């Protein structure tokens, strides 16, 4: 209640603090989300970058593989074409045509060359005479026929005539079609007869390159970096890079590439590193990035280039990686979030637990302090009670003593009589002893002296008893013979009873019966009871007092009964209360002290009227 009141007051005093504390609570969570987002984006970028690198490497590998395959195919095609001029240079028909030049042999050779060109899928096969004039050709009789054309300016003719063989890629001046010219000098016994030319064309190969399911622009460049064979016809005879003006002029003059301007290819360096290039393919609207792979074409001095597009692989890699990164990120950060939330919760629970523990400890401390206080109080009360009890005991002792002294006062006279009697007897016996001595009767005198000794012993016993009764003794409980205690009391009370002519009977059965008590105190009880009985019998002729003791159950029961008037009803009601008395000089303490003493021995005292007063003491037996 106190706390709720305080927090309400708090809210009233500062309305902004609720929002502030919510902000304080939210801040770590928002911070975590911000960090997670940044990390997620970073992770995504990193993963995509890695995946792109991998994809590019894969594309590059595939490019290398494709380039190798294409080089092998290209080389096989060139090798196949190369055998033709070698074989044909030995051919008798070729020799015949060169030797005779008659129409029939020319015709026959034309047919042979045509059949051969068709069978080997060669562009054109033709024969030049020693002056470079075409005398027979596989395309003879067609509109494109080479027959009659002069090829003396062609480097492949000049070099073949000079060196025996030549290879030259060029743009055909008649066919207007590029091809690789493979030439072989035909020698006769008297020297060169002419030159055989095989023009290999690569249209089909270019078509194959174009037709592949995933088109990768492919082209072959020569030692000047001029594109010779290409899947992109528009790129033919363009240079890989800008040519030096002199080189360009020389090439143009040679007409090797016809009128081609020999401009550089439209290739830009790609954004993904040295191996990549960027270009807009002829007929395409947007630029694309490619991984460029090169492979040398053996025996030619050419280089084959494959441009493998990167976009599909990159898109696939990016999508796959992004999904994976997102998944990992979500799972990772989700887990981290869960862990953090759980940690936060645990922290909260721990704090709450600690607060609860503190509260409990405080409560325990408060309760302990209260208990200690209560303990202290209890101890103080106990000490107080002990003091009170001791004071009471002292008081009781003093009361008992007072009561005893009062009794002593009353029995003093009877004691004097008790002592006077033997004293008088001693006197008589002493006088008689003297007389006996005068009469020389020593035996009689001795007998008197013996009697005197016995009488003094009796006086001694009485005075001793009196002293014992009067003495304030320490409480000392032990076995006490019932009969001895009764006799002790009678020593003090005997005279009085005899004086009042009260007859007394004492029956203790068995005579050696013992109780657990203190002899002097028990005697005090008997003296009190006998005193009261004697007083009750005052004025009554032939009074009787009966004392009997015996075992009842495990206890000893002692009855002191008289045949007086008994106890008045009003006394009966308040008998064991102090100061209850019917006597003019009574203290009303005797019975109270008797009850105290008997209780102290673990016993009880009761009273009833039965032909007089009848007091019953019950005490534990001492065995
Ligand atoms: P006190 O003798 O000083 O009066 P007690 O306590 O000894 O005090 O006795 C209380 C009263 O009980 C006596 O005054 C008397 O009236 C009554 N009482 C005691 N013993 C007897 C008895 N044996 N017979 C009749 N009355 C008795």
Query: How many A from CA of 581 to the centre of ligand 1?
Result: 6
Answer yes or no: is pLDDT of 552 > 50.
yes
Instruction: Indicate which residue's Cα is closest to atom 10 of ligand 1.
Output: 581
Query: How many A from CA of 544 to the centre of ligand 1?
Result: 17
Of 532, 568, 613, the one to substitute when testing ligand 1's pocket (max ligand atoms within 8 A of C-beta) is 532
Instruction: Indicate which residue's Cα is closest to atom 16 of ligand 1.
Output: 582
Q: Which atom of ligand 1 is nearest to the CA of 582?
A: 14
pLDDT average, residue stretch 498-526: 92
- Decide which of 325 and 480 is more confident: 480
Query: How many A from CA of 479 to the centre of ligand 1?
Result: 29
3-class DSSP string for 148-183: CCECCCCHHHHHHHHHCEEEEEEECCCCCCEEEEEE
Of 493, 581, 592, the one to substitute when testing ligand 1's pocket (max ligand atoms within 8 A of C-beta) is 581
Put residue 147 in one of left, alpha, beta given phi > 0 → left and psi -120 to 50 → alpha: beta
Model pLDDT, residue 593: 83
What architecture is domain 477-620? 2-Layer Sandwich (3.30)
Q: Which atom of ligand 1 is nearest to the CA of 589?
A: 6
Model pLDDT, residue 567: 93
Q: Which atom of ligand 1 is nearest to the CA of 587?
A: 3
For residue 191, the cross-strand partners are: 188
Q: Lowest mean pLDDT of 165-179, 474-488, 572-586, name the range.
A: 572-586
Residue 224 CB partners (closer than 8 Å, separation 6+): 239, 243, 247, 251
Nearest to 65 by CA among 353, 291, 393: 291
Model pLDDT, residue 275: 82
Residue 462 CB partners (closer than 8 Å, separation 6+): 415, 418, 419, 491, 492
Query: How many A from CA of 394 to the centre of ligand 1?
Result: 24
Q: Which runs of E-coded beta strand occur in 445-502?
A: 478-481
For residue 504, the cross-strand partners are: 545
Query: How many A from CA of 531 to the centre of ligand 1?
Result: 9
Q: Which atom of ligand 1 is nearest to the CA of 562?
A: 23
Instruction: Indicate which residue's Cα is closest to atom 23 of ligand 1.
Output: 533
| Domain spans of the chain, in order of start | 89-201, 413-474, 477-620
User: Which pair of tokens denotes residue 607?
Assistant: 């009273």
Answer yes or no: is pLDDT of 317 > 50.
yes
Query: How many A from CA of 393 to the centre of ligand 1?
Result: 23
Rounded to a whole number, what is the distance in angstroms from the first to the last CA of the chain? 70
Query: How many A from CA of 592 to the centre of ligand 1?
Result: 10
- List, chain by chain if needed, residues with CB within 6 Å of any ligand 1 atom: 528, 532-533, 536, 562, 564, 566-567, 571, 580-583, 586-591, 613
Q: How confident is the model at residue 15 (pLDDT cuts 50, 70, 90)?
A: very low
Instruction: Indicate which residue's Cα is closest to atom 8 of ligand 1.
Output: 588
Instruction: Indicate which residue's Cα is closest to atom 26 of ligand 1.
Output: 567
Answer yes or no: is pLDDT of 154 > 50.
yes
Answer yes or no: is pLDDT of 16 > 80.
no
Query: How many A from CA of 586 to the centre of ligand 1?
Result: 8
User: Which pair of tokens denotes residue 551?
Assistant: 């075992």
Instruction: Indicate which residue's Cα is closest to atom 14 of ligand 1.
Output: 581
Q: pTM surpassing 0.85? A: no
Instruction: Indicate which residue's Cα is closest to atom 21 of ligand 1.
Output: 532
Using DSSP, state whether 329 is helix, strand or coil.
Answer: helix
Q: Rg (Cα) of the chain, in Å, rounded?
A: 77
CATH of domain 89-201: 3.30.450.20
Q: Which atom of ligand 1 is nearest to the CA of 592?
A: 6
Q: How many CB atoms lie within 10 A of CB 111?
A: 15
Answer yes or no: is pLDDT of 540 > 60.
yes
Q: For 105-150, what is each residue's pLDDT tens digit?
A: 999 999 999 999 998 888 899 999 999 999 999 999 999 899 999 9
Angle between helices 311-438 and 590-600 (to 10 degrees): 120
Q: For 196-244, what is each residue's pLDDT tens digit?
A: 999 999 998 898 888 876 678 999 999 889 999 999 988 999 998 898 9
For residue 548, the cross-strand partners are: 507, 559
Query: How many A from CA of 593 to the centre of ligand 1?
Result: 12
Query: How many A from CA of 543 to the centre of ligand 1?
Result: 16
Q: Which atom of ligand 1 is nearest to the CA of 588?
A: 8
Answer yes or no: is pLDDT of 271 > 50.
yes
Put residue 321 in one of left, alpha, beta given phi > 0 → left and psi -120 to 50 → alpha: alpha
Q: Which runs of E-coded beta strand occur in 92-215?
A: 124-128, 134-137, 165-171, 178-188, 191-200
Residue 133 CB partners (closer than 8 Å, separation 6+): 148, 149, 150, 151, 152
User: Which pair of tokens denotes residue 192?
Assistant: 């060169």
Q: For 416-444, what is each residue's pLDDT tens digit?
A: 777 877 888 899 889 999 999 999 999 99
Instruction: Indicate which residue's Cα is closest to atom 17 of ligand 1.
Output: 567
Query: How many A from CA of 535 to the centre of ligand 1?
Result: 8
Query: How many A from CA of 481 to the centre of ligand 1?
Result: 26
Q: Lowest mean pLDDT of 85-89, 193-197, 250-254, 484-488, name the range.
A: 250-254
DSSP assigned state of 149: -
Residues 70 and 62: beta-carbon distance below 8 Å? no
Query: How many A from CA of 507 to the centre of ligand 1?
Result: 24
Residues 278 and 271: beta-carbon distance below 8 Å? yes
Using DSSP, state whether 580 is helix, strand or coil.
Answer: coil
Query: How many A from CA of 532 to the centre of ligand 1?
Result: 6
Q: Which atom of ligand 1 is nearest to the CA of 615?
A: 23
Answer yes or no: is pLDDT of 289 > 60.
yes
Q: Lowest mean pLDDT of 27-36, 124-133, 508-517, name the range.
A: 27-36
Model pLDDT, residue 474: 58
């Amino acid at each position: 209640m106190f706390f709720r009141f305080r927090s309400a007051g708090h809210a009233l005093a500062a309305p902004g603090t609720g929002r502030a504390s919510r902000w304080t609570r939210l801040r770590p969570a928002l911070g975590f989300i911000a960090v997670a987002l940044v990390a997620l984006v970073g992770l995504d970028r990193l993963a995509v970058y890695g995946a792109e690198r991998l994809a590019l490497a894969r594309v590059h590998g595939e490019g290398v593989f494709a380039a190798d395959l294409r080089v092998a195919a290209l080389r096989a095609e060139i090798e196949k074409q190369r055998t033709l001029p070698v074989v044909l240079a030995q051919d008798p028909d070729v020799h015949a045509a060169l030797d005779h030049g008659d129409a029939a042999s020319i015709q026959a050779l034309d047919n042979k060359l045509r059949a051969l060109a068709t069978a080997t899928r060669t562009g054109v096969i033709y024969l030049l005479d020693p002056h470079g004039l075409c005398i027979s050709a596989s395309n003879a009789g067609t509109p494109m026929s080479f027959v009659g054309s002069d090829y003396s300016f062609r480097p492949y003719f000049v070099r073949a005539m000079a060196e025996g063989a030549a290879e030259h890629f060029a743009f055909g001046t008649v066919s207007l079609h590029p091809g690789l010219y493979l030439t072989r000098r035909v020698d006769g016994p008297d020297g060169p007869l002419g030159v055989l030319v095989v023009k290999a064309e690569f249209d089909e190969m270019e078509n194959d390159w174009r037709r592949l399911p995933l088109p990768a622009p492919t082209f072959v460049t020569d030692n000047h970096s001029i594109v010779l064979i290409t899947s992109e016809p528009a790129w033919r005879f363009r240079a890989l890079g800008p040519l030096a003006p002199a080189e360009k002029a020389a090439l143009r003059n040679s007409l090797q590439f016809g009128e081609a301007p020999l401009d550089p290819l439209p290739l830009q360096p790609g954004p993904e590193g040295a191996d990549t290039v960027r270009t807009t393919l002829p007929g395409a609207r947007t630029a694309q990035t490619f991984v460029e792979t090169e492979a040398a074409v053996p025996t030619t001095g050419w280089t084959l280039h494959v441009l493998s597009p990167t976009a599909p692989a990159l898109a696939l890699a990016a999508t796959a990686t992004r999904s994976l990164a997102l998944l990992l990120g979500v799972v990772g950060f989700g887990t981290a979030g869960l862990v953090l939330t759980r940690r936060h919760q645990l922290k909260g629970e721990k704090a709450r637990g600690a607060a609860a523990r503190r509260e409990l400890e405080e409560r325990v401390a408060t309760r302990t302090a209260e208990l200690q206080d209560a303990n202290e109080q209890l101890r103080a009360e106990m000490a107080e009670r002990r003091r009170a009890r001791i004071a009471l005991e002292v008081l009781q002792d003093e009361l008992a003593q007072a009561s005893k002294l009062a009794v002593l006062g009353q029995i003093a006279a009877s004691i004097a009589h008790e002592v006077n009697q033997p004293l008088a007897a001693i006197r008589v016996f002493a006088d008689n002893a003297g007389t006996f001595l005068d009469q020389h009767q020593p035996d009689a005198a001795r007998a008197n002296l013996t009697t005197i000794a016995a009488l003094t012993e009796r006086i001694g016993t009485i005075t001793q008893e009196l002293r014992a009764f009067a003495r304030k003794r320490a409480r000392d409980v032990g076995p006490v013979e019932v009969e001895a205690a009764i006799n002790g009391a009678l020593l003090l009370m005997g005279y009085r009873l005899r004086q009042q002519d009260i007859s007394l009977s004492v029956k203790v059965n068995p005579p050696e019966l013992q109780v657990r008590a203190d002899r002097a105190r028990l005697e005090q009880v008997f003296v009190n009871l006998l005193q009261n009985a004697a007083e009750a019998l005052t004025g009554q002729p032939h009074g009787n007092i009966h004392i009997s003791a015996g075992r009842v159950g495990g206890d000893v029961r002692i009855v002191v009964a008289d045949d007086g008037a008994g106890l008045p009803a009003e006394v009966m009601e308040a008998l064991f209360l102090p100061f209850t008395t019917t006597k003019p000089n009574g203290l009303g303490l005797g019975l109270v002290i008797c009850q105290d003493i008997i209780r102290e021995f673990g016993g009880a005292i009761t009273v009833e009227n039965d032909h007089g007063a009848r007091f019953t003491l019950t005490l534990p037996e001492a065995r």
